[in-house]
Chains A and B, each alone.
Chain A
């Protein structure tokens, strides 16, 4: 039994295209992410960073190789099983927050608990606990439309952490925020993930933010290179 929460072995991803060759986005990627570890993923636009996160989350199925999440083979699982694995082990943070505008702040945080059918009272208490942690408890009943960008991303962090995932995948979590707010959000993301004992894999274009990870990986033309250690 390995202590790695995520393992990718020779993972390839080729998008079908008009020409017979197709477009290879990931090319034989091997990686292992230990529990509690924070890793930054950097690379140019179009280098395959988001695709790698999608593959890790079971959202996309690689055309080659194997992905293991918490000891389960994602690539050998059907769509339903991948959904359940994602629900159980992964928290997602997006660059554009992706909050549901018709729900309140607290309700947005609680959505993963509703989906999983968790105990209602405990979900609410957990949402409040996280909102308190990011300083938004008093905004719990507000519509998310009234929040600033930084506040929205903090709500998205709470949502990702609601069910205590073993792995948080964050796709440019500060990409839509100004530098200062971005730093604050990154602080929260790192500290909260560590407090919760989860691993973190985040995509960023910022060398400064990447440097705050335990390790850094660089994707170049679909191939993974070890970056600078933090």
Chain B
């Protein structure tokens, strides 16, 4: 399932070389380099203002970098206007033309290329069938629900058969249930079409579940670029550890006290064991004692916060089904924690 990075003989679908973009004194993209392989499902993940949307806009051509180069399929497109790039975008607000019908919206890319009306209608019909909106062609965008508009935007962007499809927070405006459905649908669509998908999101769950690789952005730079699995299990920085999933980030000083090693580390709450009274820790496990600060019941799991040091509180997840309930565990109770040393991921400073 995992696609590795670009192989040597393959021209990257997208390549950014030291791309820099500043707005006044604010550096939106700080000399970012990035390579995306053909057919990859790639996520640009980060909080707002991290540079991920600027990155997408530069690839689409809505904005030009101050310096650096952008290549699409090996061709320098840094100064190519958007209409001449073989890239299409699904906008966050969908940007459907309100004065056109759904079918006219979908056919727009063909219309501006001078394709005959009948052929346009046929292809638009096919595209609408692809996104399961076959009967909605004659409607206006405002007569559709959010999820339907999203699919129209998809069909419209795909009709030109782009090499690359860009999606700007594609699921941001949908409710939870619809979002989950669309995740599956998008992933399926991408696999069927084999087009490179690049999507921007601030939702780490979305990035992890859909993308082959994820670039985590922070303050205009890529903090880490990896497969979701590596990103989750081996975060390199404190930012990635806490932004992708939840993690206990333990600074150098506290790490020194807890483990005796002078290196900051991160550990996932679900990887910390809570030991019963008198229960010995497994061999080689790191151990510490603490006091429960609070207990939050989440249904399938519970989450406790345990104060192990004046300045350090660790979150511990307990799965209800695995017999790790939180009954009897109350605020103020003294407990012991333990974890496998290799589950603690060392972080860069």
The finding on whether chains A and B are genuine partners in a shared complex, rather than unrelated, reads no
Give residues in B with beta carbon < 8 Å to A: none
Interface residues of A (CB under 8 A from B): none
